[in-house]
Amino acid sequence: MTDPGLLRFLELVIRELGATDARVEIGGRDPDDPRLVFRPIPSGGRVVAVFATPPSDPEASGARLSALMESFFTVADHAAASVPPPSKTPADIAQRRLVDELGRLRERAGARAAVVFDVESPVVWGMSPQESPGLESRFADTMDRVRQAHAELSVGHTSRLSMMNGVECLARPFAGIYVLALLFDVPGVSEPVAIGAMVHALPTIERLVLALPPAEPPRGGAKIMRMPPRLR
């Protein structure tokens, strides 16, 4: 049976490395084609990125592949070691942990909400538990505005955006298509504290997001679609 999370991970490898294909191999000899960059999987096998021509800096491509693999396989190994009941899959564990991590980030940063969303669709991959109802609809416009401005955001940097609906947003893109955002009422942003909390939490959040299965966006694209936590 094909693992949707693994397929999504391979799609991310293709996009992040600029490869033409990516695959998982088990057994056999390591490839020696200069158009292939590969790294071993801790549990066995290898991930192979395929390029149309030999990459100009294969070591840099290999290092990036290693970083992506560490993010993905660390969460997968943790889920397998937990030996969850059949109804609690690795994706369930990653989703529950993501919601919990976003809740801790919201508290440390003093924000109203911490959220991870997709810049290419209306999907929200995780949002911190809310203190009061109705915040999702209030922040929907904010996330749409961030999506519109995502081309101006730089990976590895946090941007502060002022919204017309009385919301301040600190947005930090990661892993190609995702944004980690902290949402604040105006006034109320302690930027050094909030950015420090984001930088500290981002490696864990990135690993958990990459472990989630793909999601189909809602028809019409007008509403927020949350990935519901099922593990309690």
Whether pLDDT at 230 is above 50: no
Residue 83 CB contacts under 8 Å (≥ 6 apart), including other chains: none
Reduced to 3 states (helix: H, G, I; strand: E, B; else coil), residue 214 is coil
Whether pLDDT at 11 is above 80: yes
12 or 87, which is more confident?
A: 12
pLDDT score recorded for residue 71: 64
E strands, the chain, are 21-25, 36-40, 46-50, 113-118, 123-127, 159-162, 167-174, 178-185, 225-226
DSSP letters spanning 24-76:
EE-SSPPP--TTEEEEE-TTSSEEEEE-SS--S-HHHHHHHHHHHHHHHHHHH
Whether pLDDT at 51 is above 90: yes
Domains in the chain and their CATH numbers? 4-82 (no CATH), 90-226 (3.30.450.190)
- Segment 96-101 long-range contacts (CB within 8 Å, at least 24 positions apart): 96/229, 96/230, 96/231, 96/232, 97/208, 98/125, 98/126, 98/205, 98/208, 98/209, 98/212, 99/126, 99/127, 99/128, 99/129, 99/229, 101/201, 101/204, 101/205, 101/208
pLDDT score recorded for residue 78: 45
61 or 76, which is more confident?
A: 61
pLDDT score recorded for residue 89: 62
8 A C-beta contact, residue 183 and residue 167: yes
Whether pLDDT at 54 is above 90: yes
117 or 137, which is more confident?
A: 117
Q: Please give the mean pLDDT across all residues of the chain.
A: 77
Is the bond leading into 187 cis (omega within 30 degrees of zero)?
A: yes
pLDDT score recorded for residue 210: 82
Residue 4 pLDDT grade (very low, low, confident, very high; cuts 50, 70, 90):
low
How many whole angstroms separate alpha carbon 216 and alpha carbon 30? 36
Whether pLDDT at 118 is above 90: no
Tokens of 127: 């949002």
How much is the average pLDDT of 76-100? 62
pLDDT score recorded for residue 136: 63
Nearest one of 67, 22, 63, 64 to 46, comparing CA atoms? 22
Q: What is the model's pTM? A: 0.58
First-residue to last-residue Cα distance in the chain: 26
